[in-house]
Amino acid sequence: MTRVSANLFVSLDGYTASDPTPENPMGDGWSQLTAAWGATRTVRERVFGDHSGARTTGVDDAHAAAFFRGVGAEIMGAGMFGLHAFPDDPEWKGWWGDEPSFGTPVYVLTHSAPRPPIVMQGGTTFHFRNEPIETVLAEASEAAGDRGVRIGGGSGVAHAYLRAGLIDDLHLMIAPVVLGRGNRFWDDLGGLEVTHRVSSEVSESGTIHIAFTR
Amino acid sequence: MTRVSANLFVSLDGYTASDPTPENPMGDGWSQLTAAWGATRTVRERVFGDHSGARTTGVDDAHAAAFFRGVGAEIMGAGMFGLHAFPDDPEWKGWWGDEPSFGTPVYVLTHSAPRPPIVMQGGTTFHFRNEPIETVLAEASEAAGDRGVRIGGGSGVAHAYLRAGLIDDLHLMIAPVVLGRGNRFWDDLGGLEVTHRVSSEVSESGTIHIAFTR
């Protein structure tokens, strides 16, 4: 069976970043929640093309390196792709740059009209699907071959897969902040420690890494 | 200035145990939230009088030992004392046994009619106060001398002191469970990491110990 994973940024009080808007494409709270992650050498290199090496290399970076390993296909919401920003521009290729860091097929969940796939440099192809999440997961699993499927986000998409019991490996990065608002992560997930094994680790940045593993 | 501390048990999803009832005096979730704490040698000895020594001695126990150090007075709610269980019995001395582990003056917040203090063995005296929380804290600080005041609980009382900005040292023990219900701990505490320094540690039991220090 294909393993399905998700990685999410959550505050101590259980909030993910608020929903993206055109003015605030990552949502309120995003920069606080992801500061430690964005400071790792792996993310600087893989996402931002910064090969200076002058970034953190500790526990956060080890998790970041694991994040990029073994993924054969990705599923994300339209907001994470950036579809809502320019919904009527057929030339818009999302905000992941000319060579997105995924390097795999990426299935974008959308309620919009079908659009053709977009082939990017570096192995990423965006496919747009208006189908149930289970159907898209089946297609992504097939495409992933012997590698895993990552549910990239946003948090609403990851939450839908979690509620449906479809995530095998959930990695939470809890930033040491009390946001007080955002999207509630933990709702409807009671008893997750019964179906999954829990382990936790605190990094040098104060980020609490929690892994739920089925 | 007297330092004011509180120690609370919280689930990963931010719930403390539900409010106590006569049938369930500790509230739903309490046993899951406190399992690791109750298994420490210090708590076995100090609270349960078990001197066999056959309990955990790691990170959880170090926090338990710190819990009992340097406290000169305690404040708790009527529910934690047990007042609601036998509200009309003037002989009822709470459910902490003949020799409670506090060993200090304990101020019990109550909306009930005044009742005389109860002197227990081992240095604990229960005082009943129907006053604003700030007033009771001032009296407890005076009584504590050069030691600290501990806000013992329940979670509602600790939350009231937190919201009022009166807690210097908050110690959370986050059990690796997703309760899905109970009392919401994090509400109205946004930005606590701005007024307090945050540090975290994971114990052998998987408990995440989070300290907020002003």
Q: Which of A163, A181, A189, A193 to mutate to probe the B interface, most B CBs <10 Å?
A: A193
Mean pLDDT value across residues B39-54: 87
Rounded to the nearest angstrom, the minimum Cα separation between B192 and chain A is: 6
Question: Is residue B63's pLDDT more than 90?
Answer: yes
Give me the mean pLDDT over the A124-141 stretch. 97
Report whether pLDDT(A184) > 90: yes
Res A24: pLDDT? 77
pLDDT over 90 (residue A108):
yes
* Minimal C-alpha gap between A201 and chain B (Å): 6
Burial category of B185 from C-beta neighbours within 10 Å (exposed 0-12, middle 13-18, buried 19 and up): buried
| Average pLDDT of chain B to the nearest whole number | 92
Helix runs in chain A, H state only: 30-38, 41-46, 59-67, 78-81, 133-144, 155-163, 192-195
What confidence tier does B54 reach under pLDDT thresholds 50, 70, 90?
Answer: confident
pLDDT tens digits for range B89-123:
878 888 888 999 899 999 999 988 788 999 999 99
Of B14-23, B35-44, B55-64, B158-167, the range with the lowest mean pLDDT is B14-23
What was the pLDDT predicted at A26? 76
Instruction: Please check the confidence at residue B207 and state whether its pLDDT lies above 80.
Output: yes
d(CA A78, CA A110) in angstroms, rounded, equals 5
Cα A46 to chain centroid, rounded: 14
Taking the CA atoms of residue B75, residue B189, residue B9 and residue A172 in that order, the dihedral angle to the nearest 10 degrees is: -170
Provide the ipTM.
0.90
Rounded to an integer, what distance in angstroms lies between the CA atom of residue B190 and that of residue A177? 8
The pLDDT of B173-188, averaged and rounded, is 96
- Nearest chain A residue to B201 by CA distance is A202
pLDDT in tens, B188-198: 999 999 999 99
The per-residue pLDDT for B180 is: 95
Q: How confident is the model at residue A79 (pLDDT cuts 50, 70, 90)?
A: confident
Q: What is the pLDDT of residue A109?
A: 96
A interface with B, Cβ–Cβ < 8 A, is 12-14, 176-181, 186, 188-193, 198-202, 206, 208, 210
| A200–B208 C-beta distance less than 8 A | yes
State the pTM of this model.
0.92
Cα–Cα distance measured from residue A152 to residue A14, given in angstroms and rounded to the nearest whole number: 19
User: Does the structure show a pLDDT above 80 at A4?
Assistant: yes
Shortest alpha-carbon distance between residue B20 and chain A (Å): 21
A80: tokens are 């994470």
Q: Who has greater pLDDT, A21 or A205? A: A205
Tokens of residue B92, six digits: 């009822």
Q: Count CB-CB contacts under 10 A for residue A75.
A: 28
**pLDDT one-digit tens code per residue, B75-84:** 999 988 887 7
- What would the mean pLDDT of A92-108 be, rounded to a whole number? 92
pLDDT band at A60 (very low <50, low <70, confident <90, very high): very high
pLDDT value of position A89: 80
Nearest by CB to residue A176, choosing from B12, B181, B193, is B193
Which residues of B lie inside 8 Å of A (Cβ-Cβ)?
12-14, 176-181, 186, 188-193, 198-202, 206, 208, 210
Has residue B69 got a pLDDT over 90?
Answer: yes
**% of residues, chain B, pLDDT over 70:** 100
Residue B198 φ/ψ, nearest 5 degrees:
-110, 135
Q: Give the residues across from A126 on adjacent strands.
A: A106, A118
Q: Centre a 10 Å sphere on the Cβ of residue B211 and count the other Cβ atoms it contains.
A: 18
On the question of pLDDT at A180 being above 90, the answer is: yes
Position A2 confidence tier, pLDDT thresholds 50, 70, 90: very high
What is the mean pLDDT of the segment spanning B141-169? 96
**What would the mean pLDDT of A19-29 be, rounded to a whole number?**
77
pLDDT > 90: percent of chain B: 73
> What is the reported pLDDT for B50?
86
Nearest by CB to residue A190, choosing from B179, B199, B206, is B179
* Per-residue confidence band for A121, with pLDDT thresholds at 50, 70 and 90: very high
- List the structure tokens of B149: 């005041």
Mean pLDDT of A170-192: 96
Alpha-carbon distances, residue B210 vs A87, A208, B169, B199 (angstroms): 43, 10, 10, 6
Of A114, A111, A78, the C-alpha closest to A94 is A78
Chain A CB contacts of B202 below 8 Å: 200-202, 208
